[in-house]
């Protein structure tokens, strides 16, 4: 099976998922991103991921850019190149300026350091941070 | 050397760091969090982390809660219990409601899934996401 | 030193390791995989890894495909591209159908989510799960 | 909000999820595991995780024990203590003997080593492993 | 089976491993560390780990403290609490002063930052760093 | 903005950082490594990373090669390809022989295994390793 399956070659279940995403984004289904072309071989996994992404990015209390930054922070920490490239581009499309990007990176790197410091020094959780 | 060094027992350089943090937060230096009590044995590392945290959370283009959420997203991905406890509490103090927390978790978990999917299926980065 | 050392250019200790693997797989030593060509520069590391792989995949209570799936699950979690490519191919060679692959991915992704959820919510281990 | 919410104190949506799981396992809803008591504060996340777990462990081409081993392999790699404890117990309940457990650990550790070796030596993927 | 098996309750193969370690360290077998008491249930895994540790720490070109620092650096990066506690103590026993510990932490944290920066900015490897 | 910014196209703050590094290494600023060309878009992050690297590698109690090995150990554990390539080359430049490289790898892999073993078997920390 090829690594990437183009829209026109997908099975009906995969096509339906792609059409839903394409419609929501106002793009042609044939222009869908590679991640969906790769997932097309496994329609059940594909449907669940599409539904989960839709729910995660549905309008709510957090604004769309904040959500992209959270997604990007996870992707940098996991060192996922595809996700950094794609959600970096989406964060820019949703308003992330170069200045915001730099501030974001400062927080990501500070967190990274804080994570390793508290682990390396085996710091016990303060009583004040424990939920009752 | 004890694992945690109380403020009154710290060396002068460590005391200065703690006083700066305590003043900025409007708390008593003796009430400083455990991470600083653990770091006190290594003043140069402590000074750099304090300076980095101050710079990362300095007023800027991203609001304080967004920064906490980014910090928390990194900490969950790295599975740092101390950081999840402390920055979870800080996010609540900066306005994260239960509803926002749930939305945040939805994005973190979707990102987690996206990261592993693109890796497992070895998805190549779309040309559209490459910077020129 | 070149990154990859071809079989005919390997030192005797490395050649011996490759010959053992080639014989067990019924292939020509010159057709050995890249990982062994890279490891040839460090024969002691190479010998230990070859012995460990042989022991891990020796006939036993778990069938060969189950072992490949376990190996692949670790590799996806660690995000090791080489290992996903090579052990994905080996899993297919040992009988993994497209349907099984999809089921496998469903479990890997559910585990990934479970891991992050229990960490993010700081869930204490149930008494029932503690060994006496 | 308390860290763990007991069944009788859960909101209706959370109660429904717990009842579904309890029924499938043949247990009392009040005896549900801690992970669900922790998730009860976020019913949408809870519902999605319950549905994903149900789908992942639905009868299929892979037997239940193989799925538990895959789940456990991911959990060990991610170093999730709760998941190792809980799914270790479930694997035993589904037939994992001490002998199978040892074989499983051998594969997990060999994979771990293989992952780091191919990364450390920067091994390029063999052409034979690339999908066409 | 209990989580930890005391020396006097171990099976013969496990006892032999423990005796070898105890002799090399000049301690009583009953005073062996918990990791070996836990591994005793799986003698083949135990024997391989003992042999691998012995080979890794055998006298060679790198001095014993350097090896402990490398071991500790891996353990901090993986966030393994047991390993940080045990190999932190061993590093001190092999001569790591508080000053050296602080320098070590500075390098670990700089590396952590460098790792995440090069990933987040998707930095291509310089031609000068590629092996021919 | 381009992914990599050449020295002659950098803003003044970025140029100053690069000149400091180039002078310390005795190279032409135009020959600076890619990581700095990528960071040039975010001068505050760049300045902090340059300062942190300088402090971490400043002459001290640990020799330069030991520091490189610690940096490399972190990079392999995090699976950062750029850092493995660059700091592998730097370790060689600072005296790492092929024999030392192999010993180093043996320790890294033993640590990797020790980390996963203690996690998988949920080994409690020995009282002897706890700091008072």
Residue A1 has pLDDT above 60, yes or no: no
E77, exposed or middle or buried, with CB in 10 Å at 0-12, 13-18, 19+? buried
Chain A contact probe: residue of C96, C102, C111, C113 with most A CBs at under 10 A: C102
Rounded-to-integer distance, Cα F80 and Cα E112, Å:
10
Pairs of CB atoms within 8 A across A/C: 18
| pLDDT at E46 > cutoff 70 | yes
The shortest C-alpha distance from C34 to chain E (Å) reads 15
Please tell me which of the candidates D79, D98, D106 has its beta carbon nearest to residue E1: D98
Percent of chain F surpassing pLDDT 90:
95
A47 has a chain C CB within 8 A of its CB:
no
Q: What tens digit of pLDDT does each residue of F36-79 get? A: 999 999 999 999 999 999 999 999 999 999 999 999 999 999 99
User: Residue A132: what pLDDT?
Assistant: 65
What is the distance in angstroms between the Cα of E75 and the nearest Cα belonging to chain C? Answer: 15
According to the model, what pLDDT value does residue A43 have? Answer: 97
pLDDT tens profile A69-111: 999 999 999 999 999 999 999 999 999 999 999 999 999 999 9
Which 3 state secondary structure label does DSSP give A94?
coil
Residues B91-107, mean pLDDT to the nearest whole number: 97
How far CA B77 is from CA of A50, A77, F47, F82, in Å, comes to: 21, 6, 26, 21
**Nearest CB neighbour to B74, from listed A3, A108, A121:** A108
Closest C-chain CA to A1: C98
Average pLDDT of span C62-71: 98
pLDDT digits (tens, 9 = 90+) for F75-100: 999 999 999 999 999 999 999 999 99
Chain E residues in contact with F61 by the CB 8 A cut-off are: 97, 99-100, 103
Shortest CA distance from F54: residue in chain E: E110
* E72-96 average pLDDT score: 97
Evaluate whether B70 touches B34 at the Cβ level (below 8 Å).
no
In chain A, the percentage of residues whose pLDDT exceeds 70 is: 98
Q: Which residues does chain D have with pLDDT short of 70?
A: 1-2, 132
Q: Is the ipTM of this complex over 0.90?
A: yes
CB C100 within 8 A of CB D131: no
Q: Do F45 and A105 touch (CB under 8 A)?
A: yes
- The overall average pLDDT reported for chain F is 96
| D3 at A interface, C-beta within 8 A | yes
**pLDDT score of A60:** 98
Counting one residue from A and one from B, how many pairs have CB atoms under 8 Å apart?
A: 219
pLDDT band at E127 (very low <50, low <70, confident <90, very high): very high
- What pLDDT was estimated at residue C3? 86
List the structure tokens of C12.
């005797």
Q: If you average pLDDT over residues C58-83, what whole number do you get?
A: 98
Using a CB–CB cutoff of 8 Å, tell me whether D132 touches chain C.
no
Cα within 13 Å of Cα(C82), Cβ side: 23
CA distance C121 to C115: 10
pLDDT confidence of residue C64: 98
Tell me the pTM: 0.97
CA-to-CA distance for A8 and A10, rounded, in angstroms?
6
Q: Does residue E1 surpass a pLDDT of 90?
A: no
pLDDT of residue C131: 78
Residue C4 backbone phi and psi in degrees, to 5: -115, 135
Cβ-based neighbours of D107, under 8 Å, separated by 6 or more: C56, C57, C62, C67, C70, C71, D73
F99 touches chain C (CB under 8 A): no
D122 part of contact set with chain A, CB < 8 Å? no
Whether chain F has a CB inside 8 Å of the CB on A98: the answer is: yes
Contacts of D52 in chain A (CB under 8 A): 48
Write A25-34 long-range contacts (CB < 8 A, 24+): A30/A6, A32/A7, A33/A86, A33/B126, A33/B128, A34/A4, A34/A82, A34/B123, A34/B124, A34/B125, A34/B126
**Neighbour tally for E6: CB within 10 Å:** 12
* Matching residue, tokens 């600072």: F94
Question: Which of A19-28, A111-120, B123-132, E65-74 has the least mean pLDDT?
Answer: B123-132
∠ CA E130-E71-B6 to the nearest 5 degrees?
120
Q: What is the pLDDT of residues D11-47, one digit of tens each?
A: 999 999 999 999 999 999 999 999 999 999 999 999 9
From chain C, the residues in CB contact with E2 under 8 A are: 131-132
Chain B nearest-CA distance from C73, in A, is 9
In whole angstroms, give the CA distance from residue C75 to residue C83: 6
Are B119 and C85 in contact (CB < 8 Å)?
A: no
Distances (CA, A) of F112 to A29, A80, B65, E53, E78: 44, 21, 36, 11, 8
CB contact under 8 A, C42 and F79: no
The whole-chain average pLDDT of chain E stands at 96
pLDDT band at B113 (very low <50, low <70, confident <90, very high): very high
Question: Which residues neighbour D121 within 8 Å (Cβ) at sequence distance 6 or greater?
Answer: C3, C35, C38, C39
Distance CA F117, CA A131 (A): 31
Contact between D113 and F76 (Cβ < 8 Å): no
Name all chains with 3 or more CB-CB pairs below 8 Å to chain B. A, C, D, E, F
The confidence score (pLDDT) of residue C132 equals 64
Q: Quick one: which of C105, E62, C119, D94 has its CA closest to B76?
A: C119
Q: What percent of chain A has pLDDT over 90?
A: 95
pLDDT of amino acid B131? 78
CA distances from F27 to E84, F10, F69 (A): 38, 17, 23
The per-residue pLDDT for D131 is 78
The confidence score (pLDDT) of residue B55 equals 98
Q: What residues of chain F lie within 8 A of the CB of B48, using their CB?
A: 52, 55
Of the partner residues F39, F80, F104, the one whose CB lies closest to the CB of residue E115 = F80
pLDDT(A5) > 90: yes
């Amino acid at each position: 099976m090829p690594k990437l399956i183009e829209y026109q070659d997908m099975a009906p279940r995969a096509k339906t998922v792609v059409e839903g995403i394409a419609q929501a984004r106002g793009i042609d289904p044939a222009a869908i991103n590679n991640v969906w072309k790769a997932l097309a071989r496994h329609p059940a996994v594909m449907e669940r991921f599409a539904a989960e992404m839709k729910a995660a990015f549905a309008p709510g209390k957090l604004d769309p850019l904040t959500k992209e930054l959270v997604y990007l922070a996870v992707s940098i920490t996991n060192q996922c190149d595809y996700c950094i490239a794609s959600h970096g581009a989406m964060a820019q499309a949703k308003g992330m300026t170069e200045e915001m990007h730099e501030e974001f990176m400062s927080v990501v790197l500070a967190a990274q350091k804080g994570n390793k410091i508290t682990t390396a020094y085996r710091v016990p959780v303060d009583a004040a941070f424990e939920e009752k």
